[in-house]
Amino acid sequence: MTHTPIEVLLTQPVPEAIDAQLVSAYHVHRLYQQHNPQQLLDEAAPRIRGVVTGGAKGLSTALMDQLPALEIIAISGIGTDAVDLRHAASRGIHVTTTPGVLTADVADLAMGLIISSLRRLGEGERLVRDGLWGRVDLPLARRVSGCALGIVGLGQVGKAIARRAAAFDMSIAYNGRREQPETGYRYEPDLVELARSVDVLVVAASADGGQVLVTAEVLEALGPQGYLVNVARGKLVDEDALVEALREQRIAGAGLDVFVDEPQVPPALLDLNQVSLQPHRGSATLQTRLEMGRMVLDNLQACFRGEVPPNRVIDS
């Protein structure tokens, strides 16, 4: 008897080694390659039992509802804010993530953005590439070592950033849902007061709630000598207020890996020398993406064997 392969929808590229394993185990439909995605869905949707996606892309409720046979949404990442967990649960669909493995990479990038922003590395590189070294003087940069660092969200990533910052002799304070006295860091329950007391504010919070945390008031408190770094989600920051604060030099600079409407970046940010920009690459190392891919494969395999996937998210 001929075995009919399980059909899986892939919303974005994965590393070649993971792609090869997906193809060997499943019939893979590549939504991201389709000129007319709806045409693919009209033909294949009734048979698709799994979706592989990223944390930022997720899966819209409208698309979820086009997949009547769907059993699992396997997210390569830790964010679940782009998936309606309650709706998935109401249909008995597993939602899985890849926790733990991307913590170090995201924390590394946060430190890179802190250094890049304060030391104006992007501006310096552009000057060298444009052949202006020796002809144009750059403003003096800000010392990184010894800064006061505020962390918004002291989860796994936040703690990893704090450990790295300690090696730069930074004083560390944080804001979060609860105080964690065992860390030894200063807890500040008021985010405005945290911003007022630090040189650099790093956003590392979960975006599952979806609300803006860094408001115009927070940016005003951060002040003209303060820097904002965001490695969490763009929607946690009032992006319009941030652009205005940077334009009017009411904050000193920013390092951003995430934006509200990715891959769209506010054009005003592109012209500001005091801003370091990255295309949402917090976990984008080969080593981490391979490990994330292996976890995705494990989650899919368990689901299709009729087991509870090892990294299933439970909607609270």
Catalytic positions = 233, 262, 280
Six-digit token string for 26: 């499943």
Distance in angstroms (rounded) separating the CA atoms of residues 104 and 100 = 9
The residues facing 200 across adjacent strands are: 149, 227
Residue 95: closest CA among 243, 268, 241, 300: 300
Contact 274, 117 (CB under 8 A): yes
| 269-279 b/e (C-beta count within 10 Å ≥ 16 → b) | beebebbbbbe
Q: How many other C-beta atoms lie within 10 A of the C-beta of residue 154?
A: 24
d(CA 255, CA 267): 15
- The DSSP H or E segment spanning 140 is none
DSSP string, 145-193: TT-EEEEE--SHHHHHHHHHHHTTT-EEEEE-SS--GGG-SEE-S-HHH
- Find all residues with CB under 8 Å of 63, minimum gap 6, and list them: 41
Contact 185, 159 (CB under 8 A): no
Question: Which string of DSSP letters, residue by residue, matches 186-237?
Answer: EE-S-HHHHHHH-SEEEE----TT----B-HHHHHHH-TT-EEEE-S-GGGB
The percent of the chain in helix, strand and coil, each rounded to the nearest 5, is 40, 20, 45
- Can you spell out the DSSP letters for 110-124? HHHHHHHHHHTHHHH
DSSP strand E in 41-126: where? Answer: 48-54, 72-76, 94-96
